[in-house]
Amino acid sequence: MNSSHRIPQLLFRTTFVVGALAFIAGASPALADGAFFAPQTKIRLTIVQWMQSKGQYERWDALGGEYTVSAEGTVFLPFLGSVSVGNLENTALTNEIAKRLQEKIGLIQPPAVTIEILEYPPIYVVGDVTTPGEYKFRPGLTVLQSLAMSGGPFRAKTPLETASIKLAGELREIDHSILRSTAKLSRLQAEMAGAKEITFDQTTGADQQFSSGIYNEERVIFQARASALERQSKALTELRELLTTEISTLEEKLVGADENIKSVEDQLTSVKSLVQKGLTISSRQLDLERLLTTYRSDKLDLVTAIMRGRQAVSETTRNLEGLSDTRRSEVAVEAQAERANLDQLKMKREMTQKLLIDELAAGDGLKSRSEELLPITFTVSRRNKGRIDQFQALETTTLAPGDVVRVVRPRIPGEPSEPTSDQSAEKGPETLANRASQ
- CATH code (residue 61): 3.30.1950.10
What is residue 6's predicted lDDT score, i.e. its pLDDT? Answer: 40
The model's pLDDT over 206-219, given as tens digits with 9 standing for 90+, comes to: 677 888 888 889 88
Per-residue CA distances from 375 to 12, 259, 395, 408 (Å): 61, 118, 11, 9
Tell me, what's the pLDDT at 1? 41
- Cα 334 to chain centroid distance, Å, stands at 34
Rounded Cα distance between 264 and 256, Å, is 12
Mean pLDDT of 24-29: 38
Residues in Cβ contact with 383 at an 8 Å cutoff, skipping those fewer than 6 apart: 38, 39, 389, 402
Q: Is residue 437 part of a domain?
A: no
Is 125 in contact with 105 (CB distance < 8 Å)?
Answer: no
Q: Look at the chain and report how many structural domains it folds into.
A: 3
CA distances from 9 to 5, 12, 13, 95 (A): 7, 5, 6, 29
pLDDT tens, 33-65?
446 777 888 888 888 887 777 777 788 877 788
pLDDT surpassing 70 at residue 120: yes
Q: Are residues 143 and 76 in the same domain?
A: no
Task: Give yes or no for a contact between 74 and 85, defined as CB atoms under 8 angstroms apart.
Answer: yes
Q: Are residues 89 and 102 in the same domain?
A: yes
State pLDDT tens for residues 262-314. 988 888 888 888 878 777 777 888 888 898 899 899 999 999 999 999 999 99
Q: Are residues 137 and 285 in the same domain?
A: no
Average pLDDT over residues 25-29: 39
Whether 43 contacts 119, CB under 8 Å: no
Let me know whether 219 and 327 are in one domain: yes
Instruction: List strands edge to edge, sheet with 404-408.
Output: 133-135, 123-127, 404-408, 377-384, 387-393
The residues with which 51 forms a beta bridge, in sequence order, are: 56
Together in a domain, 280 and 223:
yes
Determine how many CB atoms are found less than 10 A away from the CB of residue 349. 17
Between the alpha carbon of residue 151 and those of residues 69, 93, 130, 361, the distances in Å are 30, 38, 5, 28
Domain limits at 388? Answer: 124-153+376-408
Has residue 402 got a pLDDT over 90? no
As beta bridge partners, residue 110 has none
The reply to whether 312 and 175 lie within a common domain is yes
Residues 221, 360 within the same domain: yes
Does some domain include residue 2? no
Please tell me whether residues 334 and 392 are part of one structural domain. no
Asked if 73 and 66 touch (Cβ cutoff 8 Å), the reply is: no
pTM score of the predicted model: 0.43
Distance CA 405, CA 341 (A): 56
What mean pLDDT do residues 139-161 have? Answer: 80
- Are both 115 and 149 inside the same structural domain? no
The reported pLDDT for the residue numbered 93 is 84
Question: 35 in a domain, yes or no?
Answer: no
